[in-house]
Amino acid sequence: MSRHYDIAIVGGGFVGGTLACALAATSRRIALIESKPVSSVNGTGRNRDERSIALALASKKMFDALGVWEQIGLHSIAIRKIHISDRGRFGAMRMDCRNHESEGFGYMVPAEKLILSLQEHLRRYENIHCIRPYKVSDIESHADRVILHGEGEPIQTDLLIAADGTNSFIRNKLGIPTNEKKYHQTAIVGNVSVDDDHQFTAYERFTREGPLTLLPHAGNNCGFVWVLPDNIARELVARSDEDFLLQLQQAFGYRLGYFSGIGKRFAYPLSLLVSHRRTQGRVVLIGNAAQTLHPIGAQSLNLAMRDVAELSEMLHASQDGLDGIDEKLCAYASGRQSDIKRTIRLTDIFNFLFTTNDLVLSRTRGIGLALLGAIPVLENIVLRQSSGVPSSVANLLHGKPLQSA
């Protein structure tokens, strides 16, 4: 015998959890399915997720509209300034949110606090059923429903939403093809303590080896993301904390004084992966299951949040039933294309421009950064993209509640 739900979301992370929050106020019966147990998701001791997540301003407004930001905001750090520079080259771009009459360019939130806030919010709703651990092992896709098989009794749903990440089991099991572009780069991610006050500044430093990002955390701490060629990354990951800290200091410089302590480091191979289809029958792919981007500019998660906003608005407007859902899903997928293509193109271009060893391009990078900082129109274009709301009319992204039809 199977359990039946109106909507099932596979993947209980940031994207799946946020979508469940967005749909919680509807009358639909919703399953949020996660393969990991609660203790593994939340983490304790050495298993803690020490990452911090960079949320665009539009993503913050969405959490505010959903009633989740009150809890998330207790642990957030506003990004009030941005400093972009090219090591060894003339020119830099400096931005201050006060010059744009904005509360900030974005927010840093500890990953585990974001997950816990989403989980706490969902406990308020009787129509949300969090099912974990449940590892899906097979899928039956029918014209009007999907049946999931796994650990325990099957789960039947009228609509399945796959938010299960880059290596999506749902996408792969359904045979949805992808295009993959390997960057032959690895991102080393971790936390570092600094001597000087970061003044809520996000730093993007383009070095000869690859771009290095430092993001403000609580106290005199920063998170870092260092993108490097695979061979250099392997060599640096193998070094001691002391040796790695020295290399990190040399690459960044002394704008924040001396680096002292360093936390646990993680390394991730980087590639661009885009699904050929975002929908197939009664299945929708969102977030990294649909597209995984290069981390430069912190666009990937915020693009996923725009997936959530657009999809939840479409489902909320038709909450009386799923009549005509196939056509609506096609319209949703089609409507997301321009934003996704634009964001992919932007991150791809930035990665190329700031990692290339071409002599002419590398020499003109500094001039380009100086122009961006000096010409308000160019600066505003960059800010509009980084804010997370490029041309989207979804209510949630503007801090407004969902509207029913």
Any domain includes 68: yes
**pLDDT score at 373:** 47
Q: How many domains does the chain have?
A: 1
- Name the residue range of residue 308's domain: 3-43+51-180+271-398
Task: Please give the single-letter amino acid code of residue 309.
Answer: A
Tell me which residue has tokens 């983490």. Answer: 43
Q: Rounded distance, CA 198 to CA 218, Å?
A: 10
Query: For residues 190 and 27, is the Cβ–Cβ distance under 8 A?
Result: no
pLDDT band at 376 (very low <50, low <70, confident <90, very high): very low
Q: Are 114 and 42 in contact (CB under 8 A)?
A: no
Two structure tokens written together for 386? 């980084």
Q: Is residue 245 part of a domain?
A: no
| 293-302 pLDDT, tens digit each | 988 777 888 8
Q: How does pLDDT run across 216-254, given as a tens digit for each residue?
A: 998 899 999 999 999 999 999 999 999 999 999 999 999
Q: Does residue 116 belong to any structural domain of this protein?
A: yes
Report how far apart, in Å, the C-alpha atoms of 320 and of each of 6, 32, 210, 324, 404 are. Answer: 11, 20, 51, 11, 10
pLDDT, greater one: 300 or 320? 300
**DSSP letters spanning 358-383:** -HHHHHHHHHHHHHHHH-HHHHHHHH
pLDDT tier for residue 370 given thresholds of 50, 70 and 90: very low
pLDDT at position 47 is 55
pLDDT at 306 over 70: yes
194 occurs within a structural domain:
no
* Range 87-91, long-range pairs (CB < 8 A, 24+ positions): 87/205, 87/206, 87/207, 87/208, 87/251, 87/253, 88/208, 89/362, 89/363, 89/365, 89/366, 90/366, 90/367, 90/370, 91/365, 91/366, 91/367, 91/368, 91/369, 91/370
3-state secondary structure of 27: coil
Instruction: Evaluate whether residue 347 is within a structural domain.
Output: yes
Residue 225 lies in a domain: no
- Is 166 contained in some domain? yes
Residue 231: Cβ within 10 Å count = 10
Enumerate the β-bridge partners of residue 285.
162
Question: How far is it, in rounded angstroms, from Cα 368 to Cα 361?
Answer: 10
First-to-last alpha carbon distance for the chain, in angstroms, is 35
Q: Which residue has the higher pLDDT, 210 or 286?
A: 286
Q: Out of 33-47, 58-72, 183-197, 258-272, which region has the weakest mean confidence (pLDDT)?
A: 33-47
CATH number at residue 331: 3.50.50.60
pLDDT tens for 26-82 read 889 999 999 988 754 455 545 566 778 889 888 999 999 999 999 999 999 999 998
Q: State whether residue 270 is helix, strand or coil.
A: strand
Residues 140, 144, 145: CA angle, nearest 5 degrees: 40
**Cα-Cα-Cα-Cα dihedral sign, residues 23, 24, 27, 32:** positive
> Which among 82-86, 107-111, 168-172, 317-321 has the top mean pLDDT?
168-172
Instruction: Give the pLDDT band (50/70/90) at residue 404.
Output: low
Q: What is the pLDDT of residues 145-158, one digit of tens each?
A: 999 999 889 999 99
Please report the sign of the dihedral spanned by the C-alpha atoms of residue 120, residue 123, residue 128, residue 131.
positive
pLDDT at residue 389, rounded to an integer: 57
Residues in the chain: 405
CA distances from 19 to 67, 141, 267, 298, 309 (A): 13, 22, 28, 20, 8
Residue 227, beta-bridge partner list: 187
Evaluate whether residue 403 is within a structural domain.
Answer: no
